[in-house]
Amino acid sequence: MLWFSSVASLITMQMRLLVAGVWLYEETGSGVQLGLLGVVQLAVQLPGILFGGALADQLDRKKLIAFTQSFSFVFLVILTGLMATGNLRPWHIYAVTAILGITSVLGGPARSAITANLVPRTHLMHAVTSNTATFQVGAILAPLAFALVMTTFGPTTTFAIAAISALPAAALPLFIRTSGVADDSGNEAPMLRRMWEGFLFVKSHPILPGLYLMDVGVTIVSFYRLILPLIVDKLFKAGAGAVGVLNAANSFGGVAGTFAVLFLANFRAKGMLVVYATLVYAVLLIAFGLNTSLWVATVIIIGLGAADAIGMTTRQTTVQLTTPDNMRGRAVSFSSVSAMSANNLGTFEVGFMSEQIGAGNTLILGGVVGVVVVLLIWWLLKGIREYRYP
């Protein structure tokens, strides 16, 4: 039930972001306005994600997922109606992005934290890896479906399909028989105190702070996914179909990278595994910026997706394996804070810089900065080099 719900949720999110991005860029022709989607998400998600982590450790995680996911259905129906009647405006996209940005971060930690309630600890690494692989498979199918539906039927039908997929995402968690209540649900401590406890736990962890810093430092200068409509236009002179293909290629690489983690399960130097993967990511980003062939870019972006997935899956597995149940929602939420902050700021930075120095030069610059960040963190943070698990 959790698996099907996660797939449906992913399809909803991918379709919404892709059609909103393509429509917004076609409507305004502005990379800055496209990049503002990231700023909007960041502004609303930063306060909400830590609150969502605390809620996941206090409320029934199944009900929390269902409630927050229901908002996607309601507001995607509204966007469909506006699009069908010709009344959709850019501010509608920004408003819905803000609202669904809040609800997604309130429910996201619960979706991640409940995994450890459903499988034994001995299978947790495989469960996390399988969930990540599922996420990547869905991220392949959703962009391909987007490319087909968008080019054949247009944005109205695409918004409608995203709305329909939100229904099982909201309903299925309620059918899970295992309890979704955390061990610490009876704790009546104030919400701010619970969030502070989560911060102290992450801060004292031997490896998580370094992993989060590396993710932020590289992603903030390189997050290209929401800016692909602009990159495809400037570098390859193509449209929505190419956006869908490159998104799918990125996710295909993510699947390969995720399954590679299974074969690296006994690699005890988890911090160095993230260092190697992130360094490869930065180098491939430079190659992406130097290239002008769509087909070569497709191959490069597969490698980018694989390297990113290895780092992401290793971080998520480390959180799940080294965090007690009563703290898991909050630990996941701090992981999400670092990722979402970097993704959203990176979206704006790449969009803005692409307008100033060109899309290719922006990607090259991001890759160079990424290499420097990885090497600095490897050198300065002893925990990254020495951490071993199990």
DSSP string, 160-186: HHHHHHHHHHHHGGGG--S--B-TTTT
- Residue-wise pLDDT tens for the chain (390 aa)? 888 898 888 889 888 988 998 899 888 888 778 878 878 877 777 777 777 888 888 888 899 999 999 999 999 999 999 999 999 999 999 999 999 988 887 888 888 888 878 888 777 777 877 877 777 677 677 778 888 899 899 999 999 999 999 999 999 999 998 877 766 555 566 777 888 888 888 888 878 888 888 989 999 998 887 788 888 888 888 887 888 888 888 888 988 888 888 788 778 888 899 999 999 999 999 999 999 899 999 999 999 999 998 988 888 777 777 778 778 788 878 887 787 778 778 888 888 898 889 889 999 999 999 999 999 999 988 888 888 876
- Residue spans of the domains in the chain: they are 2-172+204-386
As a whole number of angstroms, the distance between CA 253 and CA 304 comes to 7
Q: Give the residue among 386, 390, 126, 389 at the shortest CA–CA distance from 272.
A: 386
Homologous superfamily of 2-172+204-386? MFS general substrate transporter like domains (1.20.1250.20)
Instruction: Name the token pair of 168.
Output: 């099982």
**Phi then psi dihedrals of residue 196, to 5 deg:** -65, -40
Q: Answer whether 55's CB lies under 8 Å from 106's CB.
A: yes
The CA distance from 241 to 151, in Å, is: 7
How far are the Cα atoms of 107, 144, 243, 271, 349 from residue 328, in angstroms, in the given order? 14, 34, 36, 20, 31
**Alpha helix (H) residue ranges in the chain:** 2-28, 31-56, 61-84, 90-113, 115-118, 124-152, 155-171, 191-204, 208-219, 228-236, 240-263, 270-290, 294-322, 325-357, 359-380, 382-386
